[in-house]
Amino acid sequence: MIGAIIGLLAGFMIGLIQRLSPVFDPADIATPGLAFGVLLWLFVLFLLVFLLGYRFTDVGWAALVNALLTCTLTAIALNAVQTPPLGFLIGSLVGIVVGIPFCRLCNITKRG
């Protein structure tokens, strides 16, 4: 669920940027992905730690990897597809594709 939220917000924001500058250079694709990844990681930490009461040690690093990966892959996907109005939908799909296996991996490593 967190991955989908991250993807939705990243897709929306990167889609807005893409409306101003339609094509990112291949070297510049990582910049919005990493920038929004850190920004949305802080947002997710606020939700999980301060509002829902999780401990940072339980969710901090996993949320960072999830946010960076989701945002970077969303930037790459939007650059490839070139449809900024669908950014939120593409971002949500990327977030789900990244988030579900990542959450399962985290649950497996916590049990073992």
Q: Where are the domains of the chain?
A: 2-111
Stated length of the chain: 112
Q: How confident is the model at residue 74 (pLDDT cuts 50, 70, 90)?
A: confident
CA distance 112 to 99: 20
**Token pair 């910049």 in the structure block, residue:** 31
pLDDT higher than 70, residue 109? no
CA distance 82 to 68: 21
Instruction: Please report, for the chain, how many H helices and E strands are present, in that order.
Output: 4, 0
Q: How confident is the model at residue 42 (pLDDT cuts 50, 70, 90)?
A: very high
What's the pTM value of the predicted model, to 2 decimals?
A: 0.83
Q: Give pairs for 29-32: CB < 8 Å, separation 24+.
A: 29/72, 29/75, 29/76, 29/79, 30/72, 30/75, 32/71, 32/75
Q: What pLDDT is attached to residue 25?
A: 72
Q: What pLDDT is attached to residue 22?
A: 65
Residues 69/75, Cβ–Cβ less than 8 Å: no
